[in-house]
Amino acid sequence: MYVADSGGVAEARGALRPGPRAAAIAPTVFALGAVSLITDVSSEMVTAVLPLYLVAGLGLSPLGFGLLDGVYNGFSAVVRLAGGHLADRRAGHKAVAVAGYGLSAVCKPLLLLAHSLPLIGAVLAADRTGKGLRTAPRDAMISLASAPETHGRAFGVHRAMDTAGALLGPLVAFVILRQAAEGYDAVFTVSTCVAVTGVLVLLLFVPGRSGRNAETAEAPKVSLRAALALLRGRDLRRLSICALLLGLATVSDSFVYLVLQHRFDVPVQWFALLPLGTAAAFLTLTVPLGRLADRLGRWRVFLGGHVLLLAAYGLLLTSWHFAAMPYVVLALHGTFYAATDGVLMAAAAATVPSGLRSSGLALVQTGQATARFVCSLAFGAAWTAWGDRTALTATTLALALCVAVTAWLRPAEAVRV
């Protein structure tokens, strides 16, 4: 366990315990938050309309959409380890992040030219390759620029800014679809311009070197073997296994919105607004839950978030039908993300040496992303064969089982402050 190797568990916990006055959030965190905010406006514009564009506009089956959605989320898993390794080996977290954000920005206008399943799949794969390259280096910069006792709060602030973009993106897409004659093309064009702006902000305002931890930490040998050897650490290994198991029963956002639209007959023109419910809950709760994770234990908050997701699935399966039910489901969905997204990275950062921080975070992210790729394929196939209700029932039972197993496998309290 790497926390113990650097001075013992008791010493590590003492270092992570907040002092009388909490450290301020580093400027790098706010700068990266601004980049993510702008980029998420761009990406969520596309994400908000993509399911309906593919299913209703191009006539894809749920299985076909599941394949594309799996590509969209799973391709990032293939390159996250490479992105994390490159960032650590070359000490170039910012350079790798710029490459990732830039690649995603280039892919946006290509959606205007792609009108077949293979071409759309190729564009989405390239876009997710960019996301895979940038995610681990970006999260490494956040953790390295922040005091250990504020990791949960720092990731919460970043995710809040990121989610503000996710909140604005569907709104912009909704306005464009209502005003423009060629709505989808207009969405993709505006999305491209916004994505380029995000890359420029990253180049101009994010410092090239990470903060305080990078200056004081030991510099272990960086190699793929060293990165994989991180899994010998008990806490990181268990955290990775738990993230993978829970990912196997986590339906993608797009399928949640399609199920909601199918069950409640949401008009097509309002579909792009469904992600706003998730984003609003995420934005409101991510910082408070990040602070709670710093105080009570990151693993507890992370697992609690999946219990809330289980409740959301359960509501979608019930025979209840009250007016506020879609809002409740979306609120639970957003709270799930607020309790898990940044909290998982904060927990993982406590178990990885700073010299391999990007590689270590990429290991956890890769397992989770790969599992969600498999879940998207399975859910789409089950929906096509037996209907959305049967597919969601199977996923709900799987998630309940995974929550029980991971509660038993929970990492040691080294991930707790």
Confidence of residue 233 (pLDDT cuts 50, 70, 90): confident
Confidence of residue 213 (pLDDT cuts 50, 70, 90): very low
Give the C-alpha separation, 359 to 341, whole Å: 17
Q: Which of 97-106, 147-156, 278-287, 407-416 bottoms out in mean pLDDT, i.e. has the lowest?
A: 407-416
**pLDDT score for 328:** 94
**pLDDT score for 1:** 32
| C-alpha closest to that of 365 among 339, 338, 347 | 347
User: What phi and psi values does residue 410 have, to the nearest 5 degrees?
Assistant: -45, 140
**pLDDT score for 11:** 33
- How large is the greatest C-alpha to C-alpha distance in the chain, in angstroms? 64
Give the C-alpha separation, 354 to 362, whole Å: 13
Give the C-alpha separation, 335 to 163, whole Å: 12
Give the C-alpha separation, 232 to 5, whole Å: 12
Confidence of residue 396 (pLDDT cuts 50, 70, 90): very high
Concatenate the DSSP letters of all residues of 360-404 into one string.
Answer: HHHHHHHHHHHHHHHHHHHHHHHHHHH-HHHHHHHHHHHHHHHHH
**pLDDT score for 75:** 65
CA 348 remoteness from chain centre: 14
Q: Residue 245 corresponds to which tokens in the numbers above?
A: 């198991």
Tally Cβ neighbours within 10 Å of residue 307. Answer: 15
Q: Are 268 and 52 in contact (CB under 8 A)?
A: yes
Q: Please work out, in degrees rounded to the nearest 5, the angle formed at the alpha carbon of residue 173 by the alpha carbons of 171 and 174.
A: 65
**pLDDT score for 299:** 87
Q: Are 137 and 96 in contact (CB under 8 A)?
A: yes
For 274-302, what is each residue's pLDDT tens digit? Answer: 888 998 999 999 999 999 998 988 889 99
- Per-chain mean pLDDT for the chain: 82
**pLDDT score for 57:** 67
Length of the chain: 417
Residues 200-211: what's their mean pLDDT? Answer: 82
Confidence of residue 74 (pLDDT cuts 50, 70, 90): low
For 7-45, what is each residue's pLDDT tens digit? Answer: 333 333 333 344 434 457 889 999 999 999 999 999 988
Give the C-alpha separation, 93 to 412, whole Å: 29
In a 10 Å sphere around its CB, with 0-12 CB exposed, 13-18 middle and 19+ buried, how is residue 336 labelled? buried
Give the CA-trace dihedral at 139, 140, 146, 149, to 10 degrees.
80
| C-alpha closest to that of 167 among 29, 37, 328 | 37
- Report CA-CA distances (Å) from 189 to 43, 128, 207, 263: 12, 18, 29, 32
Residues 249-260: what's their mean pLDDT? Answer: 89
**pLDDT score for 250:** 93
Q: Which of 3-17, 260-274, 328-342, 360-374 bottoms out in mean pLDDT, i.e. has the lowest?
A: 3-17
The answer, yes or no, to whether residue 353 has pLDDT greater than 90, is no
With H, G, I as helix, E, B as strand and everything else as coil, classify residue 110: helix
For 160-198, what is each residue's pLDDT tens digit? Answer: 999 899 889 888 988 888 887 557 788 888 999 999 999
**pLDDT score for 87:** 84
Give the C-alpha separation, 235 to 351, whole Å: 7
Residues 377-392: what's their mean pLDDT? Answer: 89
